[in-house]
Structure formats: structure tokens, C-alpha cells
């Protein structure tokens, strides 16, 4: 059962990467008090709308290989993720595919999982707190201790599996966060509350300050695809 979320205000733009979970994600966002608009990734003018949006942008889930440069959808979304990381100052939250694309922009490798997770409920350490969440992914970002330390020097915190190195979540001091799991899934017990907490952190006045040169969208750890 989803816990009650904190009350937020403003207008969130959700970018749909062709995933049926997007409607549920929009519902969870509305439950926090936000006005929500959903736009498909390939709608004419979407890129400009996203970059001009005054409010949080949510780069949502979707099928496909995030490392496939021959896929027009992945090229478009990867480029948009890079520009949002660099220029958007009103909060950025990435979910599943969006999270993978953001992680790649930060320089982390994206690997195919040995066993896809489609409806897998797991207990994870999320930034020092135990959470029960639901995963639906075939690919995952990977981060070792050296890369985590390099990201930390740029103000980016990584939550990952201590054994496999798979990245569960990322959050930056300059207004962005991403989660590999689906917070809108019934398998994520505190999904609405987690969304509200992450959005509150990425839209805070401190997060709205521009990052230092080389921090956003620059392949910080030097291993992006």
C-alpha cells in the first residue's frame, strides 16, 4: 500500500518514453499536489517545451536499450537528458529508462542484466534508508567505489548494490535525481512519499543554483556510452 505523500505545488512535465506505467506515474505526481502534463517524447516541439518548462521535468520510463545509438528514440532522449542536466534549473527527476540515460550522461556504464527484473520487489538501501521497491528493468547503470568517489566530488550521491554495483538511485546537489525502480508501482511501498521527497529536494532554492563548470552532463567519471 502506497503511503501518503507530502503536499507540493507547481506544474510537473512528464516525458513519456512509450511506457504504460507513465499514467500511473502521473497519478502519483498529482497525489503530491502537483499539476501534471504528460507529453510523448516524439511530440513536435517537445524538446523546446521541456527546456523552457518552469517546474520539475520527469523523464519517465520506457522500453528499449539505452545504449543503442541507432535507435532514434534513445538518441533523442539521451540528448534531451544531457540538456536538461546542464540547463534546467527547476528540478529534474528521472525514472527507470530516464535514470539510465542520466547515469550514462554522468559517465556510468549501462549494462544488460544477467536476469531481467520484471516485477521484482526488493529491499534496498536508498541513501542510507531501507526501502521496499519494485524493479522492471533489463538494463542498469553500474558504479564502482572509484566512480562513486569521483561523482561525490561533483556533488552527486550514488545509491547502489554493495555486491553487484547496480545503481538504484542518483541525486545531485544541483537539482536532479533518478531512480531505477518504479515508484508508481504497488511493489514500491512508499512510492508517493519517495517521489515527493525527491522532488522537494530537486526543487529547493539551493538546487536551483547553476552547477560548477564541468559538473552536469559532462561524463564525470569518463566512462559514458
Task: Please give the Cα distance from 28 to 19 (Å, whole number).
Answer: 15
| Residue 189 DSSP one-character state | T
Q: How far apart, in whole angstroms, are the C-alpha atoms of residue 162 and residue 148?
A: 12
Task: Tell me the H-state helices in the chain.
Answer: 21-31, 46-52, 72-87, 97-105, 145-153, 191-202
Could you say which of 96, 100, 105, 143 is catalytic?
A: 96
| Active-site choice (100, 150, 166, 184) | 184
Lookup: cell for 144: 564502482
Mention every residue, 6+ apart, whose C-beta is less than 8 A from residue 122.
132, 133, 134, 135, 181
User: Is position 143 annotated as part of the catalytic site?
Assistant: no
Annotation marks residue 182 as catalytic? yes
Q: Which of 90, 168, 174, 182 is catalytic?
A: 182
174 included as an active-site residue: no
What amino acid positions are annotated as catalytic residues? Answer: 96, 182, 184
Amino acid at each position: 500500500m502506497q503511503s501518503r505523500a507530502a503536499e507540493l505545488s507547481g506544474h510537473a512535465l512528464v516525458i513519456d518514453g512509450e511506457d504504460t506505467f507513465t499514467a500511473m506515474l502521473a497519478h502519483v505526481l498529482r497525489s503530491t499536489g502537483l499539476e501534471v502534463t504528460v507529453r510523448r517524447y516524439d511530440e513536435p516541439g517537445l524538446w523546446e517545451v521541456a527546456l523552457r518548462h518552469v517546474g520539475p521535468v520527469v523523464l519517465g520510463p520506457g522500453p528499449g536499450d539505452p545504449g543503442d545509438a541507432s535507435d532514434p528514440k534513445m538518441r533523442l532522449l539521451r540528448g534531451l537528458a544531457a540538456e536538461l542536466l546542464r540547463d534546467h534549473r527547476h528540478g529534474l527527476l528521472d525514472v527507470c529508462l530516464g535514470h539510465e540515460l542520466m547515469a550514462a550522461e554522468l559517465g556510468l556504464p549501462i549494462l544488460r542484466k544477467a536476469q531481467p527484473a520484471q516485477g521484482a520487489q526488493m529491499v534496498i538501501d536508498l541513501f542510507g534508508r531501507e526501502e521496499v521497491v519494485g524493479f522492471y528493468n533489463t538494463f542498469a547503470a553500474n558504479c564502482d567505489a572509484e566512480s562513486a568517489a569521483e561523482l561525490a566530488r561533483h556533488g552527486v550521491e550514488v545509491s547502489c548494490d554493495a555486491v553487484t554495483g547496480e545503481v538504484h538511485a542518483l541525486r545531485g546537489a544541483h537539482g536532479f535525481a533518478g531512480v531505477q525502480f518504479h515508484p508508481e508501482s504497488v511493489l514500491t511501498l512508499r512510492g508517493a512519499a519517495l517521489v515527493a521527497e525527491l522532488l522537494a529536494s530537486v526543487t529547493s532554492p539551493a538546487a536551483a543554483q547553476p552547477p560548477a563548470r564541468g559538473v552536469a552532463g559532462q561524463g564525470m567519471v569518463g566512462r559514458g556510452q
